[in-house]
Amino acid sequence: MLYFENDYSEGAHEKVLGKLIETNMEQLPGYGMDPYTRSAKEKIRKACGCPDAEIYFLTGGTQTNQCVISAMLHPYEGVIAAQSGHIGTHEAGAIEVSGHKVISLPQEQGKLSADTLADYLSSFYGDENHEHMVFPGMVYISHPTEYGTLYTKGELAELSDICSEYRIPLYLDGARLGYGLAANETDVTLPDVAEYCDVFYIGGTKVGALCGEAVVFTKENTPMHFVTRIKQRGALLAKGRLTGVQFDALFTEGLYFETGRNALETAERLKECFRDKGYEFYLESPTNQIFIVLENERMEQLRKDVVFSFWEKKDETHTVVRFATSWATKMEDVEKLAALL
Amino acid sequence: MLYFENDYSEGAHEKVLGKLIETNMEQLPGYGMDPYTRSAKEKIRKACGCPDAEIYFLTGGTQTNQCVISAMLHPYEGVIAAQSGHIGTHEAGAIEVSGHKVISLPQEQGKLSADTLADYLSSFYGDENHEHMVFPGMVYISHPTEYGTLYTKGELAELSDICSEYRIPLYLDGARLGYGLAANETDVTLPDVAEYCDVFYIGGTKVGALCGEAVVFTKENTPMHFVTRIKQRGALLAKGRLTGVQFDALFTEGLYFETGRNALETAERLKECFRDKGYEFYLESPTNQIFIVLENERMEQLRKDVVFSFWEKKDETHTVVRFATSWATKMEDVEKLAALL
Amino acid sequence: MLYFENDYSEGAHEKVLGKLIETNMEQLPGYGMDPYTRSAKEKIRKACGCPDAEIYFLTGGTQTNQCVISAMLHPYEGVIAAQSGHIGTHEAGAIEVSGHKVISLPQEQGKLSADTLADYLSSFYGDENHEHMVFPGMVYISHPTEYGTLYTKGELAELSDICSEYRIPLYLDGARLGYGLAANETDVTLPDVAEYCDVFYIGGTKVGALCGEAVVFTKENTPMHFVTRIKQRGALLAKGRLTGVQFDALFTEGLYFETGRNALETAERLKECFRDKGYEFYLESPTNQIFIVLENERMEQLRKDVVFSFWEKKDETHTVVRFATSWATKMEDVEKLAALL
Amino acid sequence: MLYFENDYSEGAHEKVLGKLIETNMEQLPGYGMDPYTRSAKEKIRKACGCPDAEIYFLTGGTQTNQCVISAMLHPYEGVIAAQSGHIGTHEAGAIEVSGHKVISLPQEQGKLSADTLADYLSSFYGDENHEHMVFPGMVYISHPTEYGTLYTKGELAELSDICSEYRIPLYLDGARLGYGLAANETDVTLPDVAEYCDVFYIGGTKVGALCGEAVVFTKENTPMHFVTRIKQRGALLAKGRLTGVQFDALFTEGLYFETGRNALETAERLKECFRDKGYEFYLESPTNQIFIVLENERMEQLRKDVVFSFWEKKDETHTVVRFATSWATKMEDVEKLAALL
């Protein structure tokens, strides 16, 4: 069986696991006070070109979104997101559970455009009744988006400018950031992300770690008593080393970027195969997620040998499916899949 | 100055106020245990043709929506509403504060269609990932809607059928119910509302009371310990008589329906005037809210003599405004306005 | 039947009701933008000797406590209260519903002592693990307390000093403030309350209004967008005039203080009667609530002619009960009760 | 330096880590749908003697308490706990964040007695005003308690009986359950826990895992859509294998019990040393936490060579400190510490 179901099918990258093994019996203080966590933070600060960055480690994407967003919003504020944004669709209402509205705006290929955002904000403050409405208190974007698409540096700058104008933070969900940074066509670097965003997270779970996301506050803007707030949401690990050690490994000798590149190389080859065989792309994604329209019978046949994801029904006889590569994908498996296509 | 700003500009209908005066010095038990509250409930049960109805009194619309919706939803559920629904737009996030998502679906003139609802529900349960999504746990409609439009009996029946099929309650926000029931063109009666809805409220604040909304659970389906839940939201009046006495008056000798009729008669006359003078209607509303497109200069001029509401900007030179009549509107004021048009 | 059950058995003081009647048909803007609300605020500012006070009107005590406390606390903070405090016992968890802990400290006759408070705060910050604990973010006291007792001016000053030292606000629940200010033995005036507290409320529901409490922020310290937060909790009245007009009446020509005095005069006479007949006082309360220990058979007998409140079981054969007077209590009813004792 | 600071200083037990290494590159479905998670559940069911048990894996104690308690309580309910209970003291208000009150009752050496519980419940339902109070909806105990003490089988049975009588679930926090089960003096087995409790969790983080707690619902009483509720709290791991594999290892060939025994053997030896040298015990704990009263100067001296925990100030010159052993403690380190005493 060939696995192209998602980018979290395996455990950890061998170097990440290696570091966990190597440090396993060291006696370390808990709650992130250990030297590996400290070292990981320092390495991330360097990789971001942001010496003042304040960094926290959490275990998963929904948890991170909930902790960060609820801590940064005032109680009368909501978070703006594209209609396809993860927080508004596939996080089971975690933002609402924390008492805040996700304000959904139209999306284009998973992205929120500066125009859409500016229009919304100017119209909100133009409404005489806005005291009876949820105040926009943050902008959430994901990069890559849920459709694997990427913002350009110019687009990030534009969104950032609008956020500055309205004095609300720009937050980037980087669950798959490693795959975005490794894309051929992108002009966005990690320091760019740190420059344009007020807060973002570097995804580990989907990019080589067993679990873990690194939250980066870039403007000395960590919410007060953020550790207590993490604790309040049940998100503070007693063995903080678990995420600290892993990120220390991921940011040693560029491992995080290397894992990204493997996913992209295998994805590019796979896209080539689909293209060569005349498959229909649902949309052009420059990263590790490939969305293909399959005729339903063909889909069932392929399922016998390959694991991939159902995305959505297109029409009565066609379905959109997703093939994902990852840090762990082997080129030989891509070739095997190519042979099956 | 002529007031057509809204339907809550005056205090209480004289008969409502009269009853408050008459009973003022009686010594009564608190928290809704008094005989007037009991009597009001009994009268409402009769007016609804629903002898088993369970009734509670609250003070305002947002409070009622928050108390009812949060008490009826499971924690993993959200409430479906038309995109223009009050709970999703002008209640400052009160539903999200209670931990629940408002699931917005497209609207047509403020209404949620049975087709839109059915499509959403069938697509939700068709999604393999729906365990990571907010479950639809209730349908919210308003009648009249935010645009003053009305559901037909057939439309209510259809929505009710779909809700039954998916075993979720249908909730009707009747902030202006009195004006909906009094419309010329409607085929919906109060017993119809009680039949098709699992829970609804009869608005008092906008229909002749100083404050007060009557929540009606029609299927012996009051959430457990609902009084405690009302208390938890700070919504339990020590002097429950305040709302009990008012609703007792409103449902004596059909006063509630009578107040509705006055609003409709004055509204119909006003629409006639607008039509005669060639004003552009933003949409056709069969109830007490009239939406007119005004050229901006004309609007400013009119504002010198008349108070009305800004609704939204139409384009650079035109604005949508709202004129509302109410139980208290005098026909002579309508004629004065007509003269100004 | 004689009523001494509580201080909210009647409707409104005649002058309060009179003002509602007088202004009933005036067409006024909603949501507290009317001139009566403005006038009431101005009169309260004067009565408090606090020209910068920021004032908001809500409808009931639990609602007020929830709105004020949740708006002033940071999300990682709880509110300190005496173990007998209303917010920790008889508000159905309204503070917890808003996400905050009530930190209960030992009480003495319903009061929180400065020593108890200081010990708790110094011990909290002395604990190395306090980042894993709920931060104390506010001090809640009630005056009169749930047992009818009163703080002295010196005690308020001491609490206020400790709060200043730890930079947390002191909040006074004045549900029965009028009865506290009218006590013979008190040295606390309304300006004192305004001086020592960062925020407090002047109770209307129990002191002559149909409903309504006036929240007073004394140090230009209203939480940002407080109106939106009130709306979020379903506590914003469309007809804001309802509370505005009542408080305008209550603070005209000292009516609020006058209503307090009637309660105290009747209470003093009633205490005298109990004392003369040799009844056992559960505690000495200087205000309008009288706590008496009754032998159970005596209690049942008395219940045939008098309505009073069960407070708590004392032992197998005795019960603590409460007799309350109010602005509406007639001296002749006290004498009738005296005759029965 | 000798470490006796806590029981989570090291990474994972070598067999647990070994299993993570062994399965690392297997391609497995996410969200707990993998065979190791399935196998772990089956093994736990057997170890509990409870074939119908429903089991879920979470990452930490506070998270587990928040997810379980908030999912099992009705919105109008709170959870009863001893005043020293972890949820009421050191979880930063995580229960209140979920909207529920922790109802604190007096404790004896960290334990909640059946009498205390019964008195509270009977008094609650005896109060005529209990509709204005937080309903008791669950009983929380920890075993071992925060002081390392243990319930007897008889005590668990009594608590369980009272809970049954009042139809509220009994929940046992087993963060250190392995150390409780391994105690010499206990008569409580894992099947006993499963029999008397409606839900409990088996702690992994402090008993040999990198992270992870196994929640066990013993009476086919998992709250509806519990997975969605876990997701809502940000507690659903994409790589569910992380906890599944670890618990599969911990429940293979009795490893969980074995790790418990090592902690107890080293703790017993350490207690003996303290006793022999005449140290004062703060209380007698039968498990792996040892509470000693140290003279402050002695404490500072010892700190040069040993890491232990501050517990609380006893008086001006003495401090209560905690020494903890764990699955990883080496007897030779105990002897080194003995030599220092």
> Which pLDDT score, from 0 to 100, does residue A341 have?
87
Q: C11 and B60 in contact by Cβ < 8 A?
A: no
Interface predicted TM-score (ipTM) of this complex, two decimals:
0.96
Residue A157 has pLDDT above 90, yes or no: yes
Contacts of A220 (CB under 8 A, 6+ apart): A52, A54
Other CB atoms within a 10 A radius of the CB of residue D283 amount to 14
Q: Name A315's bridge partners.
A: A318
The residue written with tokens 């209140």 in the block is D96
DSSP code of residue A61: H
For A80-116, letters b (16+ CB in 10 Å) and e give bbbebbbbbbbbbbbbbbbbbbbbbbebeebbbbbeb
Cα-to-chain-centroid distance, residue A10: 18
Q: B134 and A96 in contact by Cβ < 8 A?
A: yes
Q: A60 and D238 in contact by Cβ < 8 A?
A: yes
The residue written with tokens 């509406």 in the block is C328
Q: Which chains touch A (3 or more CB pairs under 8 A)?
A: B, C, D
CB A72 within 8 A of CB A223: yes
The two tokens of residue D135 are: 């309903």
% chain A with pLDDT above 70: 100
CB C324 within 8 A of CB C4: yes
> Which pLDDT score, from 0 to 100, does residue D128 have?
79
CB A246 within 8 A of CB D15: no
Residue D321 has pLDDT above 90, yes or no: yes
Residue D132: list chain B partners with CB under 8 A: 228, 231
Q: D133 and C100 in contact by Cβ < 8 A?
A: no
The residue written with tokens 């500009």 in the block is B9
CB A121 within 8 A of CB A134: no
* Single-letter residue type at B247: F
Reduced to 3 states, what is the DSSP secondary structure of residue A152?
coil
- Rounded Cα distance between D138 and D130, Å, is 16
Contacts with B, C 54-83, CB within 8 Å: 59-67
Cα distances (angstroms) measured from residue A173 to each of A146, A200, C10, C204, D103: 10, 6, 58, 49, 38
- Could you tell me if D2 lies within 8 Å of chain A, comparing CB atoms? no
* Half-sphere exposure (Cβ direction) of D204: Cα atoms closer than 13 Å: 31
Residue C129 has pLDDT above 90, yes or no: no
The residue written with tokens 């384009």 in the block is B315
Q: Are strands B170-174 and B199-203 parallel, antiparallel or unpaired?
A: parallel
- Rounded Cα distance between A82 and A145, Å, is 10
Q: How buried is residue D96: exposed, middle or buried, by Cβ count under 10 Å (0-12/13-18/19+)?
A: buried
Q: D9 and A28 in contact by Cβ < 8 A?
A: yes
Q: For D155-203, what is the HEC assignment?
A: HHHHHHHHHHHHCCCEEEEECCHHHHHCCCCCCCCHHHHHHHCCEEEEE
List, for residues C185-211, the tens digit of each pLDDT value: 999 999 999 999 999 999 999 999 999
Residue B126 has pLDDT above 90, yes or no: no
The two tokens of residue B300 are: 């400013």
> Which pLDDT score, from 0 to 100, does residue A128 have?
79
Reduced to 3 states, what is the DSSP secondary structure of residue B209?
coil
- Give percent helix, percent strand, percent coil of chain C, each to the nearest 5: 40, 20, 40
List, for residues B253-309, the tens digit of each pLDDT value: 999 999 999 999 999 999 999 999 999 999 999 999 999 999 999 999 999 999 999
Closest approach of C8 to chain B, Cα-based (Å): 7
Q: D229 and B75 in contact by Cβ < 8 A?
A: yes
Closest approach of B135 to chain D, Cα-based (Å): 9
> Which pLDDT score, from 0 to 100, does residue C266 have?
97
The two tokens of residue B102 are: 């408002």
Q: What's the average model confidence in pLDDT over B84-107? A: 98
Domains and CATH numbers, chain D: 2-7+256-340 (3.90.1150.10), 25-255 (3.40.640.10)
Q: C11 and B239 in contact by Cβ < 8 A?
A: yes
Least confident range from A126-130, A250-254, B71-75, C20-24: namely: A126-130
Least confident range from A128-137, B190-199, C228-237: namely: A128-137
The two tokens of residue B216 are: 């009606």
Residue among B76, B92, B313 minimizing CB distance to A134: B92
List, for residues D105-162, the tens digit of each pLDDT value: 999 999 999 999 999 999 999 887 899 999 999 999 999 999 999 999 999 999 999 9
Contacts of B281 (CB under 8 A, 6+ apart): B271, B274, B275, B290, B291, B292, B293
- Rounded Cα distance between D215 and D174, Å, is 9
Least confident range from A66-70, A226-230, B323-327, C128-132: namely: C128-132
For A250-269, letters b (16+ CB in 10 Å) and e give bbeeebbbbbbbbbbbbbbb
Cα distances (angstroms) measured from residue D194 to each of A276, B338, D190, D191, D287: 59, 78, 6, 5, 20
Phi-psi region of D46 (alpha: psi -120 to 50; beta: other; left: phi over 0): alpha
The residue written with tokens 């894309």 in the block is A183
Closest approach of D37 to chain B, Cα-based (Å): 19
Residue among D90, D93, D99 minimizing CB distance to C97: D99
Instruction: List, as one string, the DSSP characters of D207-228.
Output: TT-SS-EEEEE-SS-PPTTHHH
- E-state strands within chain C: 2-3, 54-58, 77-82, 102-105, 135-142, 170-174, 199-203, 213-217, 280-281, 289-295, 306-307, 309-315, 318-324
Closest approach of D290 to chain C, Cα-based (Å): 19
Q: Name A33's bridge partners.
A: none
Q: What is the mean pLDDT of chain B?
A: 97
Residue among D71, D132, D232 minimizing CB distance to B231: D132
Residue D341 has pLDDT above 90, yes or no: no
% chain D with pLDDT above 70: 100
DSSP code of residue A287: S
Residue C230 has pLDDT above 90, yes or no: yes
Best residue of A6, A58, A59 to probe chain D, by most D CBs closer than 10 Å: A59
Which chain B residue is nearest to residue D70, measuring alpha carbons?
A: B75
Closest CA to D285 of D113, D141, D109, D133: D109
Residue B127 has pLDDT above 90, yes or no: no
First to last CA, chain B: 14
The two tokens of residue C12 are: 């409104």
Q: A92 and B129 in contact by Cβ < 8 A?
A: no
Closest CA to D98 of D80, D59, D71: D71
Cα-to-chain-centroid distance, residue A139: 15
List, for residues A159-213, the tens digit of each pLDDT value: 999 999 999 999 999 999 999 999 999 999 999 999 999 999 999 999 999 999 9
- Could you tell me if D99 lies within 8 Å of chain C, comparing CB atoms? yes
